[in-house]
Amino acid sequence: MKKGCFAVFLLVLLLFGGALIGGIFLAPSLLAETTNDERVVLIIEEGDSLHRVSEILKDEGVIRSARWFRREGQAAGVDRNIRPGEYEIMPGSQFEDIFALIQTGQQREQVRITFPEGYTLYQMGGRLEEHGIASQEAFLEATNAYFQDQDFSFDTAPLYFPMEGYLFPDTYFFETDTTASQVVSVMARQMEKVLEDYKDLAKENNLTIHELLTIASLIEKEAFGDHERDTIAGVIYNRLEIDMLLQFCSSVLYGLDDGQELATRLLYRDLEVMHPFNTYQYKGLPPGPIANPGRASIQAALNPESHDYLYFVVGNGGHNFSRDYQDHTQNVEAYRSQRTLEQ
């Protein structure tokens, strides 16, 4: 063999060998440990493809390359044998571990819990207790403990539950042995992820995250549906701009029972009760959120409708909005007349 040909052959051999060795050592390196050494729950629905599974794992931080995962999975024939189920992916799992797992159809013992948008921490704790995950008391204590471990900058003196507003309402799947602290951590981190999409816009609007969540919680408790969230947000900003009392009944109710919101009906005498959340007595925003808002109310708080409404009262299918007190009084009388007829 001529020297030139031998040199070319040797170069090709080295490149091939390097690629082979690199592939051997590269594949494990494409795996990323899950944060805080926590397990990741992978839910595969009927009909989900290998492509779909790879994107979920990439989004959850389990793998770094969805493309490499698909390539290896197809080579192993996994794409033809994926079975729906709820899978527990352990930190540091290798591709072959995941491939073997998602072909089993494994079902984990979990409890599905939905926390509606606008639930208070007190209500969330009650729902956890109903499902046997943790007692309401343990949950509320865990929220306070979580707050102590974090670096929050707002004044907690007037707050009943410092983490109110900071747990994202959603549907969660918890193992039956999940602790109250783990529940709080999962829900708080989910809210942090959601807020990442809005931090820049909040800063542009000169709002702190605490103010944003406070406004969003007011919208959440007052709105009858998505169609009026932006309108209610506009009323809040309009009143704040002219230094007018917000006069939101939802905030008064929240403060009557120290954040437990046991009262369901507001009486006229309740408006005279002096507490930090009584927006009939104190101007400006209440000292903190009165509930845990969902994404739609957070968006509304950052994108209020531009109008000159200052009042609203319950109407048919929502609220009736008005620009002055005279029109508002007429709307209130119409509402009272309607209630009288219904009774």
- pLDDT tens digits along 175-197: 888 999 999 999 999 999 999 99
Integer angstrom CA distances of residue 161 from 100, 164, 168, 284: 45, 6, 15, 20
Res 334: pLDDT: 82
Among residues 195, 230, 263, which one ends one of the domains? 195
CATH of the domain at 163: 3.30.1490
- Asked whether residue 237 is assigned to any structural domain, the reply reads yes
126 and 251 part of one domain: no
Q: Are 220 and 295 in contact (CB under 8 A)?
A: no
Question: Would the pLDDT of 23 be above 50?
Answer: no
Boundary-marking domain end, from 74, 89, 108: 108
In terms of residue numbers, what domain contains 143? 110-195
CATH number of the domain to which 70 belongs: 3.30.1490.480
Structural domain contains residue 274:
yes
Quick one: average pLDDT of 160-176? 93
Return the minimum-mean-pLDDT range out of 64-68, 139-143, 278-282. 64-68
Do 179 and 122 share a domain, yes or no? yes
Q: Is residue 13 part of a domain?
A: no
Our count of domains for the chain comes to: 3
Q: Do 338 and 216 share a domain, yes or no?
A: yes
Domain shared by 98 and 185, yes or no = no
Q: Are residues 312 and 190 in the same domain?
A: no
Residues 195-213, mean pLDDT to the nearest whole number:
96
pLDDT per position as a tens digit, 92-107: 778 888 999 899 876 6
pLDDT of residue 153: 74
Same domain flag for 98 and 222:
no
Distance between CA atoms of 317 and 320, rounded to whole angstroms? 9
Give backbone dihedrals phi and psi of 86, rounded to 5 degrees, phi first: -115, 115
| Contact assessment for residue 166 and residue 210, using Cβ atoms and an 8 Å cutoff | no
If asked whether residues 316 and 334 sit together in one domain, one would say yes
Q: Is the pLDDT of residue 65 over 70?
A: yes
Cα gap 41→43, rounded to integer Å: 6
243 plus 304 within the same structural domain: yes
Residue 20, C-beta contacts closer than 8 angstroms, at least 6 positions apart: none
Asked whether residue 213 falls in the same domain as residue 170, the answer is no
Could you say which of 145, 163, 195 is where a domain stops?
195
H helices then E strands: how many in the chain?
Answer: 13, 6
Q: For residue 213, is it within any domain?
A: yes
Residues 246 and 338 in one domain: yes
Give me the sign of the Cα torsion angle 89, 145, 299, 254. Answer: positive
What percent of the chain stands above pLDDT 90? Answer: 60
- Contact by Cβ (8 Å): 194, 298: yes
pLDDT of residue 260: 85
Residue 1 covered by a domain: no
How many Å apart are CA 58 and CA 68, to the nearest integer? 11
Helix (H) / strand (E) element for 194: namely helix 180-196
**Is residue 26 predicted with pLDDT exceeding 60?**
no
CB atoms within 10 A of CB 50: 21
Residues 156, 46 share a domain: no
> Could you tell me if residue 238 is inside a domain?
yes
- The CA-CA-CA angle for residues 161, 247, 250, to 5°, reads 45
Whether 16 is in a domain gets the answer no
Q: Enter the DSSP assignment of 31.
A: B
In a domain, 51, yes or no: yes
Residue 325 and residue 217 share a domain: yes
pLDDT at 342: 56
